[in-house]
Amino acid sequence: MAFEPLSNIPVRVVDTTIDVVSKGSGSQAQDDVFVTAQLQLQGEVAAGERATLILPLASEAQQQPILRYTDKPITGAQVFAFDDVDRSDYDQEVVKSLEALGDGASKREQRDLAVDIGRAAKSFSSTVVTVEPGQRTLRLFYGISADKVGDREFEFSVIGPLPSFVIQAGGSIGVIAALPRNTTVVKAEGLFNPNDPNSVVPPSNATLGGRPVWGWFWQNDPLFRIRYRY
């Protein structure tokens, strides 16, 4: 059971919804951020084969290609980063099994991981997703954290689409982010070039059901970052 990075998977449309779940009134260390992305693929993830994908488990993991879990033996240590977000029991077992690979993978640890991934893949999982041969619509659901960056201020970033996917000519990406009630947006930016602060994607915003909601629509591979205050 090895891990193979996926890259250059062509997609035409990406629709992303971000739901920020409050864990307090401003004194907490972080909030939970749940990201749901639906992608329209132009090709298969793994030609003619079923693919099991490991979804991002931490904010920093969004900057790396998604990993495909295979039936090849795991060799050497495998280090994963994890954000401390609420997960289902099945997903938490996957996290524990992946964490155990940090100092190498025994046969028992590899068997335990296979069992845990199999269970999570059959449920509504934020750690793994199974892609069937010929599948052209892919739904990814994963959790990251909005970390405290100041007095009652929190911030998170989402990359759209994830680095494994490439928006094709004429394609588009839409993002909607709903923040907790009783918060004020300090900064909300979309950058089609994360290294250029002037490459701004124009946002839209509203208040729906008492929650600040921000959205973007673009035709590149942008970075979206939001900071808010209680």
24-39 residue pLDDT tens:
999 999 999 999 999 9
Task: Name the CATH architecture for the domain at 3-229.
Answer: Sandwich (2.60)
Q: Is the pLDDT of residue 145 over 80?
A: yes
The percentage of the chain sitting over the pLDDT mark of 90, rounded to a whole number, equals 79
pLDDT above 90 (res 73): no
86 pLDDT above the threshold of 80? yes
Q: What percent of the chain has pLDDT over 70?
A: 99
Stated pTM of the model: 0.92
pLDDT given for residue 165 in this prediction = 92
> Could you tell me where the DSSP H helices lie in 80-195?
89-99, 107-121
**Which residues, other chains included, contact 228 with Cβ-Cβ below 8 Å and sequence gap of 6+?**
20, 146, 153, 154, 155, 179, 180, 183, 184, 185, 186, 212
224 touches 160 (CB < 8 A): yes
pLDDT digits (tens, 9 = 90+) for 91-140: 999 999 999 999 888 999 999 999 999 999 999 999 999 999 999 999 99
Domain edges within the chain? 3-229
Work out the widest C-alpha separation in the chain, in whole angstroms.
52
pLDDT in tens, 173-226: 999 999 999 999 999 999 988 888 899 999 999 999 999 999 999 876 678 999
What does pLDDT average to over the chain? 93
